[in-house]
Chain A
Amino acid sequence: MKGLYDNEMKIVFASKTVNEAFARITVAAFVSQLDPTIDELSDIKTAVSEAVTNSIIHGYENEEGSVEINARIFANNVEIEISDSGKGIENVEIAMRPLYTSKPNLERSGMGFTIMQSFMDEMKVESSLGFGTRVIMRKKIRSVEEEQVS
Chain B
Amino acid sequence: MDFSYSNEDRLLTVYLTEEIDQHTAEKVRRKIDDEIERFIPRKVIFDFDNISFMDSSGIGMVLGRYKLAKMLGGDFEIINVNKSIKRIFEMSGVTRIIMTREKNNIKIEEKQGIINEKIQKNFNEEEEDEGII
Chain A residues with a Cβ under 8 A of chain B: 17-18, 20-21, 24, 39, 42-43, 45-46, 49-50, 53, 56-57, 98-99, 106-109, 111-112, 114-115, 118
- Where chain A touches its partner, the secondary structure class is helix
Q: How far is the CB of B82 from chain A (nearest CB, A)?
A: 8
Q: A21-B21, A21-B23 are in contact. List 15 more A-B contacts (CB 8 A).
A: A17-B22, A20-B55, A42-B53, A43-B84, A53-B55, A107-B25, A107-B57, A109-B56, A109-B63, A111-B59, A111-B88, A115-B55, A115-B56, A115-B91, A118-B91
What's the interface size class on B, roughly?
Answer: 20 to 34
A112→B92 CA distance, assembly (Å): 10
Q: Which residues of A contact B64 (CB under 8 A)?
A: 107
Q: Taking the nearest CB of chain A, how far is it from the CB of B84, in angstroms? A: 5
Q: Which residues of B contact A109 (CB under 8 A)?
A: 56-57, 59-60, 63, 92
- Interface class of chain B by DSSP: helix
Please list 11 pairs of residues, one from A and one from B, whose beta carbons are closer than 8 Å in the complex, sorted by A's number: A43-B84, A46-B53, A46-B55, A46-B88, A53-B22, A98-B91, A108-B56, A108-B60, A111-B92, A114-B91, A118-B91
Residue from B22, B55, B63 in contact with A57 in the complex, judged by beta carbons closer than 8 Å: B22
* B23-A50 in contact (CB<8A): no
Residues in A with CB closer than 8 Å to B29 are: 107
- Known A-B contacts A45-B53, A46-B84, A107-B29; the reply to A20 vs B21 at CB < 8 A is yes
